[in-house]
Amino acid sequence: MSTADRRDGWRKSSLSDTGNGCVEVFRTLGALRDSKQPGGPELVADVPGLVGMVKGGRLDS
């Protein structure tokens, strides 16, 4: 992780693939963003709650 990434509070997910599908999470776990567009939109959410819903199958179609 670069010094700039630590300074602004974003870190790349350890589960992001090695290609272009990279997700970054804010240190408070309150937001996500696409690492390819750090100045772009951010998804502000209860990230732990969202992950729990996905793992629990509550977002299946």
With a cut of 80, say whether residue 17 has pLDDT above it: no
What is the maximal distance between C-alpha atoms in the chain?
A: 40
Domain-embedded: residue 7:
yes
Q: Based on the structure, what is the number of domains in the chain? A: 1
Query: Alpha-carbon distance 28 to 55, whole Å?
Result: 20
Give pTM, 2 decimals: 0.61
Q: Residue 33 sits in which domain range? A: 3-55
In a domain, 60, yes or no: no
pLDDT digits (tens, 9 = 90+) for 44-57: 989 889 888 888 98
Give domain status of residue 61, yes or no.
no
Is residue 44 one of the residues assigned to a domain?
Answer: yes
